[in-house]
Amino acid sequence: MVETLLNIGIDDTDSEVFGCTTHVAARIVVHLDGKDGIRFLDYPLLVRLNPNIPWKTRGNGAVSIRIAVDESKIGLDEVKEIVLSTVRSLSDLNSPRSDPAIVFLNRVPQKGDLLHSFYLRVLRSMVSPIEALDVAEKVGASCSFLKTSKVGVVGALASAGAVFDDYTYELLSYRVKENYGKPRMIDRESVYSMDKAVSDNTFNNIDPETGRILITPHGRDPVLFGIRGETPQAVYEAFKLVKAEEEIECWCIFKTNQGTDAHFPDKPLAIGNIKKYDSVIVEGEVVEKRIIQGGHVIILLSQGGERVFCAFYSPTGSLRKAASELEPGDLVRVYGGVKEHKGLLTINAEKMEVLEIRERLVKTSPLCPKCGRRCKNLGLRQGFICERCQESIMEPQIIKLERGLRKGFPYLPPERAHRHLTKPLKRYGREKHGFDANGFISQWHFP
Ligand SMILES: [Zn+2]
């Protein structure tokens, strides 16, 4: 039996008010899985791309579905038509913000090849549709567009090029159409007990500081709730513990780069080389710290003669708090997205590690060597005296100021302010390094 690989990339089917690329993918899975001659090579991939692109809807997510087709049983054209008709029927074609694109490839990417490099570029910087069309031609992708604009090809091709080093899973459940836009009906208590029961292998269910439930989105999109976790089993077990109080149209488990920090490059960049909308890591010395109106902390960072502002906004909570403890001379590594602010490139910080904490010494009155009481300061160059024993001492005591910062610790915003790609603290040390031990579990989608 000779099978043909089919790698399908889909993006930009959604707008702010309607539709969702993952929902389209879940419906395609329902149509294709179980069909004679079709074998799924992996879970559908939910591929989050550069979160700094300003015109993208919500989370900037695209999808890749990878299957093997036995053409003696089902024709490739028939498979492609199932995909295209599903996209057509579920996309929000009336919105000026959606530009659905679908790419078909007869290969899967390999680490380091052109397709995979293209994914990494779209994940971390801004790439134009013209470049994407050029790469599509070079890798032999056929592209379909449902509208005249070709913007969607960037994400569609990038998702087809995704190779995950680290990855997680998300089980997404969807509402029936009649309920779109209505308040989401799920039993809140069941979410809290689910979180307690499976918290080791799931993440971002609840914001621990506020108790806010994070598994439900807030928009008009079809998602009822989504559960993020380390394995397909974990998200499925968690899903069964949540009591939905409205009808679920369908659900599907995705493999995803969410919660992996994949958008950050492998190495820090020279400050002089950062570009608008890039996701970057920079290292440098704190030159200046300002706390501006609203409590936002602005740090001026210097490295090799170049300087850049890093903004730690109030919603980043504990991350902002850590930045407020920085002092000139400290060395830090800042992770974030590059934005332009008043004509200057500024890094909107998403994470920080303190590399060196500059020692700060302060002078204080010494303790009396006889009775141990704190001596009295007699004023400039007069020294100190113990008021009980009359013992006099000339030199002040030098003490190290407690800095309240931890070297090497990843300072992050609270869970409620995480981006899809943000790696939560509880995932540190659980990175998968490309190792894949998870085959399909018996039920990974419904219906
Ligand atoms: Zn004394």
Backbone angles phi, psi at 119, to 5 degrees: -55, -45
Residue 121 maps to which CATH number?
3.30.70.2200
18: which residues sit within 8 A by CB, 6+ positions away?
A: 92, 95, 180, 220, 221
Based on the structure, what is the number of domains in the chain?
Answer: 4
Question: Alpha-carbon distance 220 to 397, whole Å?
Answer: 63
Residues 119 and 229 in one domain: no
Q: Measured in angstroms, how far is the CA atom of residue 375 from the centroid of ligand 1?
A: 7
Burial of 299 (0-12, 13-18, 19+ CB in 10 A): buried
Domain assignment of residue 158, yes or no: yes
Domain assignment of residue 446, yes or no: no
Q: Measured in angstroms, how far is the CA atom of residue 395 from the centroid of ligand 1?
A: 15
Q: Measured in angstroms, how far is the CA atom of residue 396 from the centroid of ligand 1?
A: 15
Could you tell me what percent of the chain has a pLDDT over 90?
Answer: 74
Q: Measured in angstroms, how far is the CA atom of residue 181 from the centroid of ligand 1?
A: 75
Residues 12 and 158 in one domain: yes
Give DSSP secondary structure letters for 350-413: EEEEEEEPPP-EEEEPPBPTTT-PBPEE-STTT-EE-TTT--EE-SPEEEEPP----BT--B--
Domain boundary among the residues 261, 288, 320 is at 261
Query: Helix or strand or coil: residue 335?
Result: strand
Any idea which residue has 């490099």 for tokens?
A: 117
Residue 182 maps to which CATH number?
3.90.600.20
The angle that helices 21-32 and 76-90 make with each other, rounded to 10 degrees, is 140
**Mean pLDDT across 87-101:** 75
Residue type for 149, please? S
Domain assignment of residue 350, yes or no: yes
Q: Which of 283, 334, 318 is nearest to 413 (CA)?
A: 318
45-49, 107-111, 376-380: range with lowest mean pLDDT: 376-380
* pLDDT at residue 236 is higher than 70: yes
Q: Measured in angstroms, how far is the CA atom of residue 15 from the centroid of ligand 1?
A: 76
Q: Measured in angstroms, how far is the CA atom of residue 381 from the centroid of ligand 1?
A: 20
17 pLDDT band, cuts 50/70/90, is very low
Q: pTM of the full predicted structure? A: 0.90
pLDDT at 253: 97
Backbone angles phi, psi at 244, to 5 degrees: -80, 135
Domain assignment of residue 423, yes or no: no
Per residue in 300-328, pLDDT (tens digit) is 999 989 999 999 999 999 999 999 999 99
Q: Measured in angstroms, how far is the CA atom of residue 374 from the centroid of ligand 1?
A: 8
Burial of 436 (0-12, 13-18, 19+ CB in 10 A): exposed
Q: Which of 23, 27, 47 is nearest to 263 (CA)?
A: 47
Q: Measured in angstroms, how far is the CA atom of residue 386 from the centroid of ligand 1?
A: 5
Residues 87 and 219 in one domain: no
Q: Measured in angstroms, how far is the CA atom of residue 380 from the centroid of ligand 1?
A: 21
Domain assignment of residue 426, yes or no: no
Q: Measured in angstroms, how far is the CA atom of residue 373 from the centroid of ligand 1?
A: 6
Q: Measured in angstroms, how far is the CA atom of residue 362 from the centroid of ligand 1?
A: 22
Residues 146 and 78 in one domain: yes
Q: Measured in angstroms, how far is the CA atom of residue 390 from the centroid of ligand 1?
A: 7
**Mean pLDDT across 211-238:** 93
Residues 379 and 236 in one domain: no
Residues 367 and 355 in one domain: no
Domain boundary among the residues 103, 129, 163 is at 163
Q: Measured in angstroms, how far is the CA atom of residue 32 from the centroid of ligand 1?
A: 86
Q: Measured in angstroms, how far is the CA atom of residue 377 from the centroid of ligand 1?
A: 13
Per residue in 50-66, pLDDT (tens digit) is 988 876 545 568 999 99
Mean pLDDT, the chain, rounded, equals 91
pLDDT at 77: 95
Domain boundary among the residues 148, 163, 178 is at 163
Q: Measured in angstroms, how far is the CA atom of residue 397 from the centroid of ligand 1?
A: 15
pLDDT at 302: 96
Question: Alpha-carbon distance 401 to 129, whole Å?
Answer: 54
Residues 391 and 286 in one domain: no
Q: Which of 95, 68, 51 is nearest to 259 (CA)?
A: 51
Q: Measured in angstroms, how far is the CA atom of residue 385 from the centroid of ligand 1?
A: 8
Residues 382 and 351 in one domain: no
Beta strands in 257-359 (DSSP E): 279-291, 297-303, 306-312, 331-341, 344-356
Q: Measured in angstroms, how far is the CA atom of residue 61 from the centroid of ligand 1?
A: 70
Any idea which residue has 């799931």 for tokens?
A: 202
Residues 22 and 155 in one domain: yes
Comparison of pLDDT for 427 and 97, the residue scoring more? 427
Residues 314 and 291 in one domain: yes
Bridge-partner residues for 351, per DSSP?
335
Q: Locate 402 and state its tokens.
A: 């407690």
Q: Which of 108, 103, 125, 104 is nearest to 161 (CA)?
A: 108
* pLDDT at residue 274 is higher than 90: yes
How many alpha carbons fall within 13 Å on the CB side of residue 429?
6
Q: Measured in angstroms, how far is the CA atom of residue 23 from the centroid of ligand 1?
A: 77
Question: Alpha-carbon distance 244 to 265, whole Å?
Answer: 39
* pLDDT at residue 18 is higher than 60: no
Q: How many residues does the chain have?
A: 447
Q: Measured in angstroms, how far is the CA atom of residue 394 from the centroid of ligand 1?
A: 14
**Mean pLDDT across 343-364:** 92
**Mean pLDDT across 327-341:** 95
Cβ-count burial 20-39 (b if 16+ within 10 Å, e if not): bbbbbbbbbbbebbeeebbe
Q: Measured in angstroms, how far is the CA atom of residue 392 from the centroid of ligand 1?
A: 9
Are the beta carbons of 45 and 66 closer than 8 angstroms?
yes
Q: Measured in angstroms, how far is the CA atom of residue 376 from the centroid of ligand 1?
A: 10
Q: Measured in angstroms, how far is the CA atom of residue 365 from the centroid of ligand 1?
A: 13
Domain assignment of residue 180, yes or no: yes
394: which residues sit within 8 A by CB, 6+ positions away?
A: 383, 384
Q: What domain range is 368 assigned to?
A: 361-400
Residues 11 and 102 in one domain: yes
Q: Measured in angstroms, how far is the CA atom of residue 402 from the centroid of ligand 1?
A: 27
